[in-house]
Amino acid sequence: MLNRIVEGVFIGFMAINATVAQVNPEINLMARMVQAEAENQIEDGQRLVIDCVLNRMDSEYFPDTVSEVINAPGQFEVVANGAIRKATPTDAVYELIRQERKERTNNEVIYFTAGGFNPSGEPWQKIGDHYFSTIRKDLKDD
**Residue 133 CA from chain centroid, whole number:** 15
pLDDT surpassing 90 at residue 57: yes
* pLDDT-derived band at 22, boundaries 50, 70, 90: low
- Pick from 88, 136, 71: which is nearest to 109 by CA? 136
* pLDDT-derived band at 137, boundaries 50, 70, 90: confident
Mean of the pLDDT values across residues 52-74? Answer: 96
The DSSP output letter for 124 is E
The model's pTM: 0.82
